[in-house]
Amino acid sequence: KNQVEQSPQSLIILEGKNCTLQCNYTVSPFSNLRWYKQDTGRGPVSLTIMTFSENTKSNGRYTATLDADTKQSSLHITASQLSDSASYICVVSLFGNEKLTFGTGTRLTIIP
Amino acid sequence: DAGVIQSPRHEVTEMGQEVTLRCKPISGHDYLFWYRQTMMRGLELLIYFNNNVPIDDSGMPEDRFSAKMPNASFSTLKIQPSEPRDSAVYFCASSFTLVETQYFGPGTRLLVL
């Protein structure tokens, strides 16, 4: 069964610190992996999309890595800001029909 | 562009009533997606359209749910009759292609009493 698991479920860090969120998946064959940021009460916003041939992609202070061999991805946030408080959702698509499998997300809270 | 527009933003209704959610995708996007999000199940894809044609509706929970896209700038998701377990946030998203970034609307928060 195709699954996407994220860890930790929730995380609290001090403003200015770095953090890393994890995503493990069993989706196969794999097409691409996406990270979304979802602020409370709003729709998800895309941060990165990576295909199997990419192993890192950055978007400002957000850097996603992908290891297609071990089926693992991480999202690293550098110098966190209060506005980074949100849920981060990992989404993996199936090669061929691009069917999406969603992780349940990591709830990140940045405290001053 | 104003982004994906959804209406209403909030809907409270009684069990058994018909509910219609509306979506206007970003102009030029060929794909439109309907999602449901709950605390228990997270984000789930219900159905998506390509050029106004439903492609995959395997995520639609049951016959009480139906979706239409009469033209490139409008789609509806209808629940009839509604049940309390349908309470959730319903998102509409659109994209140029199936593999590119999907842009989400603000969502409709539905509460069925």
Per-residue pLDDT tens over the stretch B61-101: 889 999 999 999 999 999 999 999 999 999 999 999 988 88
pLDDT (average), residues A62-91: 96
Residue A92 in this model has a pLDDT that exceeds 70: yes
Cβ B91–A99 below 8 Å, yes or no?
no
Point out the residue among A32, A42, A102 whose CB comes nearest to the CB of B42.
A102
Q: What is the pLDDT of residue B6?
A: 98
Residues 42 to 81 of B: which have CB under 8 A from any A CB?
A: 42-45, 56
Q: Which residue of A has its CA nearest to B95?
A: A46
Q: Which helix (H) or strand (E) holds A108?
A: strand A106-111
Residue A79 in this model has a pLDDT that exceeds 70: yes
Q: What is the pLDDT of residue B96?
A: 95
Distances in Å between the Cα of B18 and the Cα atoms of B13, B58, B93, B110 are: 8, 22, 22, 12
| Per-residue pLDDT tens digits for B5-15 | 999 999 999 99
- Give the minimum alpha-carbon distance from B86 to chain A in angstroms, rounded to a whole number: 18
Q: What is the pLDDT of residue B1?
A: 65
Q: What is the pLDDT of residue A2?
A: 77
| Per-residue pLDDT tens digits for A7-61 | 999 999 999 999 999 999 998 888 899 999 999 999 999 999 999 889 999 999 9
User: What pLDDT band is residue A100 in, cutting at 50, 70 and 90?
Assistant: confident
- Give the minimum alpha-carbon distance from B111 to chain A in angstroms, rounded to a whole number: 15
Q: Which three-class secondary structure state does DSSP give residue B22?
A: strand
Q: Which residue of B has its CA nearest to A31?
A: B99
Q: What is the pLDDT of residue A98?
A: 79
Of the two residues B46 and A52, the one the predictor is more confident about is: B46
pLDDT (average), residues A70-92: 97
Residue A82: φ, ψ to 5° = -55, -35
Cα angle: A71, vertex A77, A80; to 5 degrees: 160
Residue B85: φ, ψ to 5° = -70, -5
- Which residues of chain A does B106 touch, with a Cβ-Cβ cutoff of 8 Å? 42-43
